Amino acid sequence: MLAANQDDAAGIFNLGNCYENGEGVEKNTKKALELFLKAAKHEDVNPVVFFRLGSLYINSPEIERDEVKAAEYFQIGAEKGDVYAQSWYANFYENGIGVIKNEEFARYWYLKAAEQGDALAQNNLGYYFEHGIGGPVDMQSALHWYGQSASQENKVAQKLLGNCYYYGNGVQQDYEKAVFYYRKSAIQEDPSAQHNLGYCYLNGIGVEKDEGIGLMWMRKSASNGNINAQRYFF
User: In the chain, what percentage of residues exceed pLDDT 70?
Assistant: 97
DSSP string, 65-129: --HHHHHHHHHHHHHTT-HHHHHHHHHHHHHTSSS---HHHHHHHHHHHHHTT-HHHHHHHHHHH
How many CB atoms lie under 10 A from the CB of residue 177? 17
Closest CA to 186 of 212, 211, 222: 222
For 157, how many CA atoms within 13 A lie in the half-sphere containing its CB?
A: 25
Give the pLDDT band (50/70/90) at residue 53.
very high
199 touches 179 (CB < 8 A): no
Spell out the domain ranges in the chain.
9-77, 158-233
Tens-digit pLDDT profile for residues 147-169: 999 999 999 999 999 999 999 99
Tens-digit pLDDT profile for residues 106-153: 999 999 999 999 999 999 999 999 999 999 999 999 999 999 999 999
Between CA 156 and CA 152 the distance in angstroms is 11
For the stretch 125-132, contacts whose Cβ atoms lie closer than 8 Å and that sit 24 or more positions apart, written own/partner, are 126/157, 126/160, 127/160, 128/103, 130/160, 130/164, 130/169, 130/170
CATH of 9-77, one of 1.20.950, 1.10.3470, 1.10.20, 1.25.40: 1.25.40
CATH number at 158-233: 1.25.40.10
143 touches 158 (CB < 8 A): no
Vertex 111 angle, CA 87 and 118, to 5°? 50
pLDDT at 2: 43
Query: For the chain, what is the mean pLDDT?
Result: 95
